Amino acid sequence: MKIFSPNDYVAKSRFWYFLKKTQKTKKAGGEIVSIKKIPEKINKNVKNYGIWIRYDSRSGIINMYKEYRDVLVCGAAEQMYMEMAGRHRAKWSSIIILRIEELKTKECLRPSTKQYHGTKIKFHIPHFIQKSPWNKEVNLIKAYRYQTCLKEN
């Protein structure tokens, strides 16, 4: 069971929540021996991830499939939590991640992930500030103290 949580306390709570639902065991009938963070192999290549989730909305329980592009699985899960909170107003505690898979480029379904699969991708710079060439070493913002005393001539 892989649990995505911000800290150990939330991970323990989610573990017992899912164990109670799947195995019908109570917290009194078991003991957590250790909690370990699973380190991911850091690779600088962006991968596609498919996430199957279930969440409680105002109208009932909804199953959903989402696709994200990220370097790590945890990053894709974090994107999913942020999008669900912003777009669907779903609370973090009501979202259950059923499965996460790494997808190949042919397996992607959503156009938002397919748009980055081309070989000739160009990103437009929307706002570019040109700095003056003669002031490269000088900072543009200078701190100075106000003088509150009067100078006599």
Backbone phi, then psi, for 149, in 5-degree steps?
A: -95, 155
**pLDDT of 111-143, one tens digit each?**
989 998 988 888 777 776 666 666 555 555 656
Whether the model pTM is above 0.75: no
Mean pLDDT of the region 30-53: 90
The residue extents of the domains of the chain are 1-32, 40-116
Average the pLDDT over each of 21-30, 90-99, 142-151 and give the range with the smallest value.
142-151
Q: Which residues of 133-142 are buried (b: 16+ CB within 10 A; e: fewer)?
A: eeeeeeeeee
- Return the CATH fold of 40-116: Ubiquitin-like (UB roll) (3.10.20)
Q: Which of 42, 49, 15, 7 is nearest to 31 (CA)?
A: 15
Q: Which of 3, 24, 23 is nearest to 13 (CA)?
A: 3
Identify the pLDDT of residue 46: 92
Identify the pLDDT of residue 41: 85
Mean pLDDT of the region 8-26: 90
Mean of all residue pLDDT scores within the chain? 86
pLDDT > 70: percent of the chain? 83
Mean pLDDT of the region 86-113: 94
**12 neighbors 24 (Cβ within 8 angstroms):** no
Identify the pLDDT of residue 72: 92
